Amino acid sequence: MKNQSDVDSRAFELWRASEYGIAVTDFLSPGEKIEVYTELCARIGNGMQRCFFWGGCRGTERSAAVFLPEWAAPEDPPRHSMPLDTERTAFFADFLENNPAVLEEIPIVPMTVRGSGFRALGHRDFMGGILSLGVDRAVIGDIAVLSESEALVFAAERIAPFLETELTRIGRDAVICERRDIPPGFEIPRRFEEMPVTVASLRLDGMVKALIGKSREDAAAMVRQGLVELNYRECADVAKETAEGDVLSVRGYGKFAVGAVSGSTRSGRLRVLCKKYL
């Protein structure tokens, strides 16, 4: 697995190469994306206006950094906003739909993986089946489970032929993997479970306690041990204030979105409408 400095260096090399044509990284996790964005902003400043993050459609979390030459870059795009950059990504999606020649230069392929329908398959099953073939995680983007027997997978173009021929089983189920077209405006589906919680404050340790059902002491220990990410970055500060829109990941328990404060209880505790990613 490449370390972050290798990822940053490769991204900088591709930005320099984009003077002559479109250059694209492998898929980046949300955390890697933030690190690449931060590092490149420090090195190239306004040059980042020619960088867009794209995972194959609207709503993806794993994205490639796409560096456009000046002659291909759109005029007046929205400024970057981290961590998920939804406004800028939506702008770029519209741009690509109106500029198919640019889209064709981005080597990301949507693929359908379909099982027999006799076995229920989840995200972990689809991911495990792909990685068991020795595929590097960096060439696989988001995996959206569409049903108990079908998933939409975004893959780097160079690995697509291999997946089409070699991905024939997931666990004990036979599967078919093939390229597919997605319609304009398609957004990757997300499923959530509503989780209203009550907390004394929006401190990180209190939110972890409420979301995973642990004691305050256990939640604080998990934060200090580096088991918690806030907006895709490890955060060991138990007193860090969370806010609406933050994404909180707890190792072994899943990923959560912090929602709005909807009121308070008689004892003064805050009611917060959160969601758990499914």
- Predicted confidence at residue 232, as pLDDT, reads 87
Q: What confidence tier does 82 reach under pLDDT thresholds 50, 70, 90? A: low
Residue 85 scores a pLDDT above 80: no
**Mean pLDDT within 81-98:** 85
pLDDT score, position 31: 87
* 137-174 residue pLDDT tens: 999 999 999 999 999 999 999 999 999 999 999 989 99
Does the pLDDT at position 44 exceed 90? no
Kindly give the pairing relationship between strand 51-54 and strand 108-114.
unpaired
- Continuous segment of H or E residues that includes residue 35: helix 30-44
Task: For 174-222, write each residue's pLDDT tens digit.
Answer: 999 999 999 988 998 888 899 999 999 999 999 999 999 999 999 999 9
Cα(198)–Cα(261) distance, integer angstroms: 9
Mean pLDDT of 250-263: 93
Q: What is the pLDDT of residue 194?
A: 94
- pTM, two decimal places: 0.83
Q: What pLDDT digit, counting tens, does each position of 116-137 carry? A: 999 999 989 999 999 999 999 9
- Cα separation, 223 vs 74, whole angstroms: 42
pLDDT for 83: 57
